[in-house]
Amino acid sequence: MKIKKTIIPASAIKILIDNFHTLKLRHLQILPLFVFTLFLEQCHAQNSNGDNFFTHADTLRGSITPERSWWNVLRYDITVKPDFAEKKLQGFNIITFNAKQYPESPVMQIDMQVPMSIDSIFFGNERLKFKRAGNAYMVNLPKRNRGAMTGSVKAYFSGKPKESIKPPWDGGWIFTKDTLNRPWMTVACEGFGASCWYPNKDYLGDEPDSGASLSIIVPDTLIGVGNGRLQQKVDHEDGTTTYKWAVVNPINNYDIVPYVGKYTHWHDIYHGERGNLDCDYWVMDYNLKLSKIKFLAVDSMLKCFEYWFGPYPFYEDSYKLVEAPHLGMEHQSAIAYGNKFRQGYSGKDLSETGRGLNWDFIIVHESGHEWFGNNITAKDIADEWIHEGFTNYSETLYIEFYFGREAAEEYLFGLRKLIRNDFPIIGRYGVNNEPEDTDQYYKAGNMIHMIRHIIADDSLFRKILRGLNKEFYHQTVTTKQIEDYISRASGIDFSKVFDQYLRTTKIPVLEYKIHGHDLSFRWTNCIKGFKMPVDVNIKGPRRIKPTEQWQKLSFYPEGNFALSVDRNFYIGVTKVD
C-alpha cells in the first residue's frame, strides 16, 4: 500500500501573479500566508505541461547527496519509548555504517522530520556538532585517517510526531484505542518516510545490510511487538517493560515498525520450500479465537506464492501478522493486518466481479510484498510499480491457483475500471516523487499479465518470477534492471512495452480496416518504434505483429470476416473505413 500525496496546481500561483495589480488592500492582508502555504506545498505543484516543481528538501530526501554518498548503512539499533497520553516519543538509534573512503572533512546526513527533533549525536564518547536543514541534519564527524572504516553514531531523538489522520494513506504515528478503550499505537509511513519517527538514512536505496533491532519500552500492562524475532523481554522497576525484536536480513526503513497494545499471541509452523517457517500471530486478546480460524488462510497464501515466486525470503526472521488499527501495510516479517477478519478488501470486492470476496485481501496482498517490495526493493520510490504492480498481480495468481484461470482473469479485468491514466506510472527520480495515483497497481498489474500472455509459456513465466526473486534476492533495484531481466529471460525485447505503459499515459490503439478479402492494421497513439504483438481472432485465433505502418493480410478467397482482440491485451481498438 502507498501513502497518497496532495497536488496543488501551480496555476494558482500564476493566477495570483497575473492578477496581483487588481488585488485590493484587504486581500493583501492574507497574501503572505497564501504565498507561504503554496511555497510549502510546491513540491507537489504541477503546471499545465505536467512538469513538477521540487524543492531542495525533496532532493535531500530523494537523492544520493554528497553527505549520503560516502557511507553505507550496516545496521540500525533503535530504542523508542512512546507516551500515549502526551502523544510523544523519545529514544535513540545507533546507526552502524561503513565507508570505503572516509572523507577528509566528513559530513553525514541523517534524516529526522519536523516536528520531531534530534537532541544529540555521539560518535563513541564524542558529542558531535550538527545543523538542521529542514527534515535533515548535517552532522560533522571527527577527522581521522582517510580510507576504509566501520563505525557508529548514536542519535537521541524526541518530540511529538505527526499523527496520521487517515492511516495508512497519510503517513504518521497512530495513537488510538481498541474496542475496550485501551491504548493502541503503531506507525504507518510508506512514502511519507520512516524519518517521521526515528532518525535514519531515509533513502530506499540503502537498507541496513546486517538487519536491525527495535526495542520498545511500554507500560507493563501493554505488549510491544516488532519485526523479526523477540530477543528479550526486560521488566523494569518503574512499571515499564522493554521488548527487543530483531531481524538479521536487510529491511526497508519504513518496514521497521513498533506495535503497542493488549496483544495476545499464537504460533504455527508452515512446512515450506526451505523447511519449517515459524508463523506468529499477534492480535487483540478478544480476537484470539477468531484469528485462529481466519489466519489459517496464511498456509494457502504461502503455498501459492512459494510456487510462483520462490521461497519466502525471510525464513530467518519468521512470518508474522500483527493486528493493526488501520487496514494494512507490508511491514517485513510483521505485516500489519487490519481487515477485521473479513473477506475481500474491508468486506468489498475491488473488481466488482465477486471474485475478490473469496479470500482476505490484506493477507494476500500485503504478504505478496514480502517478495516484491521487501525482498526486491526499488532504489527510488518513483519506481514503486515494482512493489505494487507485481503485488497487485499476485492477487490474480492467488485466485488462479485456487479458483482457476477464468476466475483470475475476470478479477484482473474487473480492476481495469480503476485505471486512470492521469500520470505516467514512473515518477521523477531523485526527489522522492511517489507516483501520483494508483496506476502502479492496476495498470502495472495488467501490463504484467499482458507480458505473460505474449510470452505464452506459463512455465517460463513462472521461472522468470522466481528468477527475479533469486537474481535480486535482498537487493534494491532500478526499473531498468527488472525490465532487462524480463527481456533477457523471456528472449523477447519488451523495452518498448515498458516505455509505453510505464512512461506514458497513452494506451496504444490497434487501428484496422477490412476491404474485401484484406485486413489492414497498425498501431496508433503509441511511442515511436512500438511493435507489440497482439492476439486476435479472425476465422480463428492468430497472432499479428502490428507496427506504426499499415500492414496487410489477405484472406482470399474468404470475405465478410470480423476481427476481435484477445481480452488479455490492455489496448484500444478502432475500426476505420
Domain of 526: which CATH number? 2.60.40
* CATH number of residue 385's parent domain: 1.10.390.10
CB atoms closer than 10 angstroms to residue 568: 16
Tell which residue, 47, 45, 44, 13, has the closest CA to residue 31.
Answer: 13
Domain membership of residue 401 (yes or no) is yes
Residues 525 and 566 both lie in one domain: yes
Of the residues 503, 528, 549, the one at which a domain ends: 503
Residue 370 lies in a domain: yes
Cα–Cα distance measured from residue 176 to residue 223, given in angstroms and rounded to the nearest whole number: 15
For cell 497498425, name the residue.
Answer: 522
Q: Are residues 481 and 553 in the same domain?
A: no
Judge if 444 and 474 occupy the same domain.
yes
pLDDT at 1: 60
Domain membership of residue 45 (yes or no) is yes
Burial code (b: 16+ CB inside 10 Å, e: under 16) for 346-384 equals eeebbbebebbbebbbbbbbbbbbbbbbbbbbbbbbbbb
pTM of the model as a whole? 0.91
Residue 336 lies in a domain: no
Q: Are residues 523 and 492 in the same domain?
A: no
Are residues 534 and 433 located together in one domain of the fold? no
* Same domain? 445 vs 523: no
pLDDT at 92: 99
Instruction: Provide Rg for the chain, Cα atoms.
Output: 26
**Burial class of 494 by CB neighbour count within 10 A (0 to 12, 13 to 18, 19+):** buried
E strands of 324-435, at which residues? 328-329, 335-337, 376-378
Query: Of 481, 503, 525, which marks where a domain is finished?
Result: 503
494 with 372, same domain: the answer is: yes
Q: Is residue 432 part of a domain?
A: yes
Task: Cis check for the bond before 557: say yes or no (omega within 30 of 0).
Answer: yes
Residues in the chain, pLDDT under 50: 3-50
Residue 526 within any structural domain of the chain: yes
Claim to verify: residue 493 and residue 571 sit in the same structural domain: no
Per-residue pLDDT, 341: 98
369 plus 496 within the same structural domain: yes
> What domain count does the chain have?
3
Q: Provide the pLDDT for residue 364.
A: 98
111 occurs within a structural domain = no
Cα 457 to Cα 231: distance, rounded to the nearest angstrom: 45
**Paired residues of 278 in beta bridges:** 269
Range of the domain at 441: 365-503
Q: At which of 447, 478, 503 does a domain end? A: 503
Whether residue 383 is found in the same domain as residue 481: yes
* Chain-centre distance for alpha carbon 269: 28
One domain, residues 420 and 488: yes
Does residue 460 share a domain with residue 405? yes
C-alpha cell at 566: 484477445
Pairwise CA distance, residues 11 & 15, whole Å = 6
Q: Is residue 494 part of a domain?
A: yes
